[in-house]
Amino acid sequence: MQGYKKKRQLAFEEREQELLYLAEELMDTLGFAALTMDKLVAACDYSKGTVYNHFSSKEDLLCAICTRSMQVELQLFERALQFNGNSREKLLALCFAYRLHALLNPTQFYCVLSAKTPAVLEKASPVRLEQQQELEQALSAVADAVFEQAVLNGELTDGRGHSAGEFTFAIWALMFGTNALFNAASEAHMLKPLSADQTLLLNTNLLLDGMKFSPLSHEHDYAQSWQRVADEIFAEEVALIKRNGE
């Protein structure tokens, strides 16, 4: 029967989410490296075989957490787009969302970082990797659209013939790198003389200025825009972080 299979399928997906949530929780409480398939099995109500029915390996599980992470990130992106401002400010809002996501869900960000590691890439299942790429595509598409709109609006006029995709990749790489290095630095108890937010803002300003994305940073107060994004779009989340930080 059709309905039966559908129900079954639904239960399967629900359980997968449950397992992913549990795995994340385990990492949160026990530390990132302490996540173990055995522990996950012990913590859930299912047997090892069932868990392995969902995730072909530990790395596959990591990858799954990673894609789920990008799904919630995508939602943050959609919200960021609602920011009332010019294209460059919208892009800034996306960067804000990216950073916010990393702060809200450090564990998830760890997974994303690990998922760029060959040790994980080598062992994750092909299906999972494909899903991950699709999500990355979806996330990139959001930024692409902003760049394309900026061209239409005349905010981005440099005609060197670079595609939106290239610009998106550049800002993505910059955000990824900045966040990764920051996290590593804080994890290693390094001195952190410069505030993460300010650095992030500076870096995006430099890159977008280099794209000649007007209004340029000396023509507009993007620190204020950054603050506005925090207040007008993500007030709740920012408050949550503040509370957790203390």
Partner DNA sequence: GTCACTTATTGACGGATCGTCATAATAGTT
Partner DNA sequence: AACTATTATGACGATCCGTCAATAAGTGAC
Contacted by 74, from its own copies, DNA, none: CB < 5 to 8 Å by type: none
Angstrom distances, CA of residue 160 to CA of 164, 166, 191, 211? 12, 12, 40, 10
* Choice between 45 and 219, CB closer to DNA: 45
49 lines the binding site for DNA (CB under 7 A): yes
Residues within window 5-34 making contact with DNA, judged by CB under 7 A: 8, 12, 34
4 lines the binding site for DNA (CB under 7 A): yes
55 lines the binding site for its own copies (CB under 8 A): no
Please give the backbone phi and psi of residue 31, each rounded to the nearest 5 degrees, phi first: 100, 150
Whether the upstream peptide bond of residue 215 has omega within 30° of 0, thus cis, is yes
Stretch that binds DNA, among 52-60, 125-133, 216-224, 232-240 (CB under 7 A): 52-60
Q: Which residues contact 152 (CB under 8 A, 6 or more apart)?
A: none
> By C-alpha distance, which of 91, 73, 74, 83 is closest to 168?
91
- The least CB distance from residue 201 to its own copies, in Å, is 11
Contact between 120 and 112 (Cβ < 8 Å): no
Site for its own copies, rule CB under 8 A: 31-33, 59, 110, 113-119, 121-123, 129, 132-133, 160, 162, 165-166, 169-170, 172-178, 180-181, 183-184, 187-188, 190, 194, 199, 202-203, 205-212, 218
